[in-house]
Chain A
Amino acid sequence: MSANDAGDVRDRYWAKTRNLTIVVLALWAFFSLVVPAMVSTLNEFTFLGFPFGFYMIAQGSLIAFVVIIWVQNWRQDAIDDEFGFGEEE
């Protein structure tokens, strides 16, 4: 593998990593900034007996953050492996 190919692999690896990060940050902004701004509207709905807006800032968004990070790590590990940057544990 020539130096050029290696550089090319890195560029493609970084492009994929960057795209994943952009998706993650968009989801993060939705659950941390958009949802709390809409609590009044969401409170008109009921979820598990909770006013829905209150539920989201007390639990829903928090659960979303946990899921986002676990899924991101799963996808990022796959990207690492695809380009041969996966590490031995």
Chain B
Amino acid sequence: MALIQGRFIDNIGRVYAIYTGGFLAFILLMAVLEQLGVGADTIGILFVAFTIAIYALIGWLSRTMEVDAYYVAGRQVPAVYNGMATAADWMSGASFVALAGGVYFGGYGYMAFIVGWTGGYVLVNSLMAPYLRKFGCYTVPDFIGTRYGGNLARLCAVIVLVVASFTYVTAQINATGTIAARALHIPFSYGVWFGLLGILLCSMLGGMRAVTWTQVAQYIVLIIAYLVPVIWMSNAQGFGLIPHFTYGEAAANMANFEAQYGLNPPAEAIPGLSVLTTPHTGPVGDYAEWKFITLALCMMCGTASLPHILMRYFTTPTVRSARKSVAWSLLFIFLLYFTAPALATLTKLQLLDPNLPTAIIGKPFEEVASLAWIQNWSSVGFLAIADQNADGILQLNEFFMRPDIVVLATPEIAGLPYVISGLVAAGGMAAAMSTADGLLLAIANALSHDLYYKMIDPKADTAVRLIVARILLVGIGALGALIASLQLTGILGAVAWAFCFACSGLFFPLALGVWWKRANRPGAVAGMAAGFIAGSLYLYYVYTGGAPWFGLDHLRFGIVGMAVSLVAMVVVTLLTPAPDEEIQRMVEETRVPTGPAILSDKH
């Protein structure tokens, strides 16, 4: 390209400006095609195919055979771009597709995810990222293995990492499969493998370097796809230019509509679909506040222990830029998370407020049943209306919907052109693919670097290490797709579990590794093993019908795991000798931003 001269890294701003301009031009082209009469299906296929082709191109251009580039993108990713890549890595298919729907149906209780998935970055920034960057590790178990010493500690960290990340990645492959199936009109079981193919194209040839640059591209697509429909809808419906600051009245009025229509369970439930029964703005029921806090705490500590996020901060040039990049990450994530409640509120208002033309609740049943968007989504079983009290009027508890279609259906509810729906599909695909890439890479790197290279064959040469890493990547991806195609778990449940597994096993060993010089190997092993086992047993106990303790259900088992982990780690550490002087000096070095890294390059 004539526009780009010199090294890529010196031209990033220009490259991504051109890319963003190109994507906007593509959206306009699709809008023109729609006006010319091209069908909705074709536009959906073009959106998904075009964006995946771009990611694959970036993945191919970033191919590498160097260890440093493969594991940590050569440690030269500028803070702002690492922030964007982390944001894409972070915001999964669940955040993009399911979050607003969750707030729509769950109200206050669900918003613990929003607080948890943003507040966690304060922990990442103050407890973890800068120190792990100074350490100079390639993977999270690399830190545990070196700080505490010994293969047992490293192995425990690898096991926790693999279980947490694998739980998470099956949910993401499931999401890519769902979106690919709908946009490309192929069966779900093919969609899953198609999604995996796209994911591997981004990561296999270039490892962390390729994933970094595709994730930046995916962030740009997903944030445009999330904000454009909300802002467009808000302007079309008269909520103001930027709805985030003007929907206060709508949120306040919600209580009146809730009182008017009544928040009652349906006369006859429809499996898989939900009816609105939770008030929008405040807590209700026993333990509501406690449940909020425990869920938020699990999500926050899980954020600070999930390896696919922590390893993103190993790619920055310096400790200071690692911190700066956490700040950018949170800002980019915040843009989506503070939009989700706005979207949920506006969508709900459109359906409930009798003064708006889009309202359906309280309208004659026949009139609602003839709406195009009701028919489209009913035909695939994601939505249903049933006049269960036979009064000819659609009541609030007679409108059934799957929570995760709120984001996808909103453009149609508001009567926006189809090009917006295609854009939203491309955004959801970007969100799910970028997270799946980060997770697959975290698992494959831990297995290839920590298990294979550090524990099994320390003499393996570079080429062999990188080939092993790639074989593992493909193998784990295939296993994930296989499990996803069985559809064992819902997307949201699997995501919450991943956070709980991660914080049960890794939060305290990681944090105390930096903040408590006295922490030693037996303590860390006890903390990881006891926390992880206690958490898993408690999950098994509540999931098989055991009565939850203090309202700690299967989404919050990390609280039990973390408590056991902390106690085990502190008690065992104090009962065993302090770590030797070399380790203590290593911890002191970790706390200072300057000077050489603890682990040398190419370790």
Partner of A59, one of B244, B246, B249, B281: B244
**Cα A85 to Cα B595 with chains together (Å):** 9
A57 in contact with B248 (CB, 8 Å): no
Q: Give chain A nearest CB distance to B251 CB in angstroms.
A: 5
A17 to B422, CA, bound (A): 48
Q: Is B108 among interface residues, defined by CB-CB distance under 8 A?
A: yes
Q: Bound complex: CA of A76 vs CA of B591, how far in Å?
A: 12
Within 8 A of B (CB), among A36-50: 36-37, 39-40, 43, 46-50
Binds A, one of B145-153, B289-297, B563-571: B289-297
Q: How far is the CA of A37 from the CA of B282 in the complex (A)?
A: 10
A-B pairs with beta carbons under 8 A, tally: 144
- CB under 8 Å from chain A, chain B span 576-603: 588, 591-594
Q: Is B121 an interface residue (CB 8 A)?
A: yes
Q: Which residues in A have their C-beta under 8 angstroms from that of B283? A: 39-40
For A89, give its contact among B127, B246, B297, B318 (CB under 8 Å).
B318
What are the residues of chain B within 8 A of A46 when measuring CB–CB?
Answer: 248, 252
- Give every chain B residue within 8 A of A68 (Cβ-Cβ): 122
> Which secondary structure characterizes the binding site on chain A?
helix
Complex contacts, B331 vs chain A, CB 8 Å: 66
Cβ of B281 and Cβ of A51 under 8 Å apart? Answer: yes
**In angstroms, how far is the closest chain B Cβ from the Cβ of A59?**
5
- Do residues B126 and A25 form an inter-chain contact, with CB atoms below 8 A? yes
Contacts of B293 in A (CB 8 A): 33, 36-37
B330 adjacent to A65 (CB under 8 Å): yes
Task: Tell me the complex Cα distance, A55–B330, Å.
Answer: 19
Min CB distance A56 to B, Å, is 9
Question: Interface residue tally of chain B, by bracket?
Answer: 35 or more
CA of A10 to CA of B323, assembled, Å: 20
- Looking at chain B's contact residues, the main secondary structure is helix
Residues of B within 8 A of A57 (CB): 108, 111, 114-115
User: Which of B54-62, B334-342, B438-446, B491-499 forms part of the interface with chain A?
Assistant: B334-342
Contact B296 A33 (CB under 8 A): yes
Least CB separation from B123: chain A residue: A28
B residues near A24, Cβ cutoff 8 Å: 122, 126
A58 in complex: contacting residue of B122, B252, B327, B341, CB < 8 Å: B341
User: Is B210 among interface residues, defined by CB-CB distance under 8 A?
Assistant: no
Inter-chain contacts of B297 with A (CB < 8 A): 32-33
Closest chain A CB from B320 CB (angstroms): 5
A51 to B121, CA, bound (A): 26
Residue of A39, A40, A85 near B594 (CB, 8 A) is A85
Kindly state whether residue B119 has any CB partner on chain A within 8 Å: yes
Chain A residues near B247 (CB, 8 Å)?
Answer: 50
Task: Check: B319 CB closer than 8 A to any chain A CB.
Answer: yes
Q: Known A24-B122, A36-B115, A86-B320; judge A62-B338 contact (CB<8 A).
A: yes
0/1 string, B110-148, CB within 8 A of A gives 1: 011011101101110111000000000000000000000
Q: Please name all residues of chain B whose beta carbon is closer than 8 Å to the beta carbon of A63 when the two chains form the complex.
A: 334, 338
User: Does B245 touch A at the CB level, under 8 Å?
Assistant: yes
The residue on B at minimum CB distance from A88 is B318
> Does the CB pair A54–B591 fall under 8 Å?
no
**Are B592 and A10 closer than 8 Å at their CB atoms?**
yes
Report the separation of the CA atoms of residues A85 and B130 in the bound assembly, to the nearest whole angstrom.
13
User: Hey, which chain A residues are within 8 Å of B591, CB to CB?
Assistant: 10, 14, 17
Complex alpha-carbon distance, A70 and B323, angstroms: 9
B319-335 at interface with A (beta carbon < 8 Å) = 319-321, 323-324, 326-327, 330-331, 334
Docked CA distance A40–B289 (Å): 9
The distance in angstroms between the C-alpha atoms of A43 and B108, with both chains bound, is 12
A-contact bits for B282-310, CB 8 A (1 contact / 0 none): 11000001101100110010000000000
Please state if B296 and A58 are interface contacts (CB–CB under 8 Å): no
A62 and B334: CB pair below 8 A?
Answer: yes
A49 in contact with B126 given A31-B119, A33-B297, A62-B114 (CB within 8 Å): no
Contact present for B108 and A32 (CB under 8 Å): no
How far, in Å, is A43 (CB) from chain B's closest CB? 5
- Kindly list chain B residues whose C-beta atoms are within 8 Å of the C-beta of A50: 247-248, 251-252
Given contacts A28-B119, A33-B296, A65-B119, contact A59 B323 (CB under 8 A): no
Subset of 18 A-B contacts with CB under 8 Å: A17-B591, A32-B122, A39-B292, A50-B251, A51-B251, A58-B111, A58-B342, A65-B121, A69-B121, A69-B122, A69-B327, A69-B330, A73-B323, A80-B320, A85-B593, A86-B594, A87-B319, A87-B593
Sorted nearest first, the 9 A-B pairs with minimum C-beta distance are A49-B248, A50-B248, A54-B281, A58-B341, A32-B119, A28-B122, A37-B289, A49-B249, A69-B327
Using CB atoms and an 8 Å cutoff, list the residues of chain A in contact with chain B. Answer: 10, 13-14, 17, 21, 24-25, 28, 31-33, 36-37, 39-40, 43, 46-51, 53-55, 57-59, 61-63, 65-66, 68-70, 72-73, 76-77, 80, 85-89
Knowing that A14-B591, A33-B293, A58-B342 touch, tell me 6 more A-B residue pairs with CB under 8 angstroms.
A31-B119, A49-B248, A49-B249, A51-B251, A57-B108, A73-B324
